[in-house]
Structure 1
Amino acid sequence: MAEDRGMRAEVAASWHRSAAAGVSAELREAPITVDQGDLRDLRSAHPLARVFPLLDDVLGQAVRDCDAMMAISDADGTLLWICGTPKTLRAAERIGFVEGSNWDERLAGTNAPGLTIATGRPTTITRAEHFRQSVQPWSCAATPIHDPGTTRLLGVLDVTGGDQIVVPQTMAMVRAAARLAEVELGRESLLGPQPERPGGLRVLLEGLGRPEALFTMDDGRGRVETVRLSRRHSEILLLLAAAPRGLSGDELAVLLYEDDGASSTLRAELNRLRGLLGEEVLASRPYRLAADVTGDWLAVEAQLAAGDVREAMRTYQGPLLPRSTAPGVVRIRGALEASLRQALLRSGQADLMSAWTRSAWGRDDYEMWVAQRDAVDPASPMVALVDGQIARLDADLA
């Protein structure tokens, strides 16, 4: 089989992070981080408590019928609820897959809920892809559940079982159940009191790791539209999003073009962009976005300001519009990367440094490799790998 001949890149990256965090492949059980008394309080206060009965109804019974389990964790990896037959639950106890245990990959090694928390994406982990040997008889499929209003990660929905769940239909079913939960949470939110949003328009720009940005607009009346922008339009919107008070045509031109004399080109681009997005989104005099704007790079900046380096790394999908040479974009991109990099160097967290050095933009970062070596336990098998990469860079620099 294909899995016998190699390892998927995202799984390999997770193994590196698990090893860098000090997880032993021989660890039998995941740690219990919340006792039963505190667990009851944690569950009752958690937003997903409102949709747990729905998830148990649409997914819980289905997994019981095939001797699997449904589990729901919070955003930190603590398992809040686990549903399954008594026989399956007893078997899962032997690997510490119990309510109150924590399956963040830093504590439990590579697994689907932990990898979903680390990457923010749906994940399937099969048998030998698990970092810990005790978990390798199992397979699991997990997907994130987000707050529909803020897009904040609330938790992870997971199905764990044997080979019977390693089919595409399992992930489709898990993702459908998670989306249903998000819809229900959104419906409850709409029934409650809502703060006024200026203008009613909300705009999300996603440009991290993308040559062109994704533009998503919510008109506040139930219409949501996503558009993949051209590179130039991506640059314009990013620069306007970074200047909430707006920019004059001359200011925007300086930030956008490497040479002078492009005012007529800029006006044409702005007219095309206004035709694409609508008059209500792109205002003029000065040019600005007449909406409540959020961006993935702005989220990283906010997370760093709050000191949450781990969440910033989770959000950071790569350099901002990496192919752009617009002076204003180059400056924002460089400042963001420098801020995140310095926060990582100061964090002392080897698994986060490992995520950086395994990326396309960080694999030749000598200072980060050295910091990672200092952060890794001297007895860890990761030391040899890190030393090898430092030797490679020494040879290249020589």
Structure 2
Amino acid sequence: MNLTRLAAVDAARAARVLSQVRDATLAGQHARIQPRPVIEQSWGRMLRSGVDPERDFRSGLLSADEVRRRREESPLRHVLPVLREGLLSVADVAQHIMVVADADGRVLWREGSSQVLRKADGLGFELGADWREDVVGTNGVGTPAVVRRPVQVFASEHFVRSHGSWTCSGAPITDPRDGRLIGVVDVSGPLETMHPATLAWVDSVAKLAEARLREVHLTSLEGLRAVAAPVLARLDGRALVVDRDGWVAAVTGMPYVRRVMLPKSLSPGRRWLAALGSCAVEPLAGGWLLRAAEERLASAATRIVLDLSRPARCTVTVTATAGSWSRELSPRHAELLYLLAEHRSGRGAAGLAEDVFGDPLRTVTIRAEMSRIRRYLGDLLEHRPYRFREGVEVEVLEPGQPRDLLPQSTAPAVARRRAAGGDA
């Protein structure tokens, strides 16, 4: 039975079938119809993390001031016009609402049908609500954030029983500069409003939003470059002009780099940065001027921590003799660094291609991704074969359950590691 096709013509019957599938699966019984893999895997995570399928748990709402602060700081504010234009007119007619949440799963914007908004209130789907998967179960906000791809959750595919009258189609929105998750856009409504094409529609608009973010970034760097040109023209030695996030607008006296990792709180004065060593930091409109000292401080890293313990947000932290810095990883970079941590003696491009794609011929893609990783890890990674530099301590923090390791990954090597841990 094709439940997606059935739901399009008879939502009520499809919901009843799914309810039976859910009850049988959660009871450990063999269901005649198996849930879709993305749903079955999510249910498994919920059972392991202790989410109660019979209890509608709601964490505290953010205050109005906190919602306002997050809105002002979120890059999602730049793409709201794109999301509204692409989703709201149809959503309102189809008795849906548009929901935009940040990377923490907090609902920051809700718009659409007033009648459906009231129904959403009854489910706790309110401004400031926490809709992470491990808080409220399988849903169209939290689950796409974990698996990093669009997901439709229909009726009893929701893990928590009280959400079974609802349908959600959510797509992650990532930072086009580095693949970091910045939020999720979701279109939701009563189950009878479900349509198979909704997910593709939401995903298309999410991609338009990412394209808009790329335009905003490039325009910002162009403006900063114009400010930087006369400043750099007067300088001798090595210097860079970067925006507030470390993206490079212009350089002088040194090769171009795409980004410099900055500490979360950077202030003017003499500072140590991983990319430059000792340098002078001076404010510019919209960014920083970084002037490298003639003698670079020792920058030998002593420790790298690869934190994969939180499925929705993986990071790498480098501790050096003169300081430390952290970076959130894209899903692909998290996969590759994990595989290199598993193969400390090194892994060639063909081996990594086999590990990631099941195809040793896809070495061009691997080399491109490794080149991007080396832009921020620098000489901490060696090549031929790819490996962490000798003498660097590497620690991997894995999730409590091996089956939750990089849940968004389809890499054969990672899938084998998850399966081996689940059988242990």
TM range (shorter): 0.5 to 0.7
**Cα gap change, 1:118 to 1:83, in 2 (>3 Å):** same
Q: 1:97 to 1:152 in 2, by over 3 A?
A: same
Higher relative contact order (CA 8 A, sep 6+): 1
The correspondence of residues 66-105 of structure 1 with structure 2, limited to 5 A, is 66-105=94-133
- Assess, with a 3 A threshold, how the Cα gap between structure 1 residues 308 and 69 changes in structure 2: closer, same or farther: farther
Amino acid at match of 1:131: F
Q: For each residue in 1:104-149, what CA deviation from the matched residue of structure 2 results, as whole angstroms up to 9, or x when unmatched? A: 1111011121111111111111101111111101111111101111
Q: Distance in 1 between matches of 2:142 and 2:393?
A: 24
SS of corresponding position for 1:34? coil
SS in 2 for 1:360: helix
- Greater shift after overlay, 152-161 or 50-59? 50-59
Q: CA 1:364–1:178 in structure 2 vs 1: closer, same or farther (change >3 Å)?
A: same
Q: Which runs of 4+ in 1 moved over 6 A?
A: 208-212, 231-243, 301-305
**Correspondence for 1:108:** 136
Residue number in structure 2 paired with 1:230: 361
Match of 2:419 among 340, 349, 360: 360
CA distance in 2, matches of 1:81, 1:302: 43
| Structure 1 letter corresponding to 2:195 | V
Report what 1:392 is aligned to.
none
Out of 214, 218, 243, which is 1:190 matched to?
218
> Judging changes above 3 Å, is the alpha-carbon distance between structure 1 residues 187 and 172 closer, same or farther for their aligned structure 2 residues?
same
CA deviation profile, 1:296-349 (whole Å, cap 9, x unmatched): x9xxx99977x7969x96756669773xxxxxxxxxxxxxx8xxxxxxxxxxxx
Report Cα offsets for 1:161-192 as digits up to 9, x if no partner: 13455333211210111111111111010011
1:211 CA displacement: 7.5
CA contact (8 A) 2:57 2:135 kept: no
Q: How much does 1:245 deviate? A: 5.5
Shift of 1:27: 2.3
Does the 8 A contact of 2:351 with 2:360 survive in 1? no
Asked if 1 retains the 8 angstrom alpha-carbon contact of 2:97 and 2:110, the reply is yes
| Separation in structure 2 between the aligned mates of residue 50 and residue 302 of structure 1, nearest angstrom | 40
1:150 aligned to 163, 178, 183, which one? 178
Give, in angstroms, the shift of residue 63 of structure 1.
Answer: 0.5
**Alignment counterpart, residue 60 of structure 2, candidates 32, 41, 49:** 32
Match of 2:353 among 199, 204, 213: 213
Structure 1 residue identity aligned to 2:172: P
Q: In the TM superposition, what whole-angstrom CA distance separates every residue of 1:76-127 from its partner, at most 9, and x where no partner exists? A: 1111111122111111111101111111111101112111111111111110
Specify the code of the residue in structure 2 equivalent to 1:185: L
Cα distance in 1, alignment partners of residues 137 and 381 from structure 2: 48
Amino acid at match of 2:150: P
Show the counterpart of 1:176: 204
Sequence identity of aligned pairs in percent?
Answer: 28
2:84 aligned residue (56, 72, 86): 56
CA distance in 1, matches of 2:97, 2:36: 25
Tell me the alpha carbon deviations over residues 47-83 of structure 1, each in whole angstroms, 9 at most, x when there is no partner: 1011112211221121011111111111111111111
Distance 1:58 1:127 in 2: 25
| 5+ residue gaps, structure 2 | 4-16, 18-32, 222-246, 260-331, 340-349
Higher helix share: 1
CA RMSD of aligned residues (A): 4.4
1-side partners of 2:210 and 2:35: how far apart? 32
Q: Which amino acid aligns with 1:176?
A: S
What letter matches 2:143 in structure 1?
A: L
Whether contact under 8 Å (1:31, 1:96) holds in the other structure is no
Q: Match of 1:23?
A: 51
Q: Would the aligned equivalents of 2:98 and 2:185 in 1 still touch at CA under 8 Å?
A: yes
Aligned partners of 1:172 and 1:109: how far apart in 2?
23
Are residues 81 and 91 of structure 1, via their aligned partners in 2, closer, same or farther at CA, if it must alter by over 3 Å?
same
TM-score when scaled to structure 2? Answer: 0.54
Q: CA deviation at 1:42?
A: 1.2
Question: Residues 237 and 63 of structure 1: is their aligned pair in 2 closer, same or farther, counting only changes over 3 Å?
Answer: closer
Higher strand share: 2
Q: How far apart, CA to CA, are the structure 2 residues paired with 1:8 and 1:244?
A: 41
Counterparts of 1:23 and 1:170 in 2: how far apart (Å)? 28
- State the secondary structure of the residue aligned to 1:51: helix
- 1:297-376 counterparts in 2 under 5 A? 315=406, 322=413, 359-365=418-424
Give the Cα separation in 2 of the matches to 1:31 and 1:116.
Answer: 20
8 Å CA contact 1:121, 1:144 repeated in 2? yes
Q: Tell me the amino acid that sits aligned with residue 100 of structure 1.
A: G
Per-residue CA distance 1:13-67 (angstroms, 9 max, x = gap): 2122223333222223533341222111111211101111221122112101111
1:238 offset after TM fit, Å?
A: 8.6
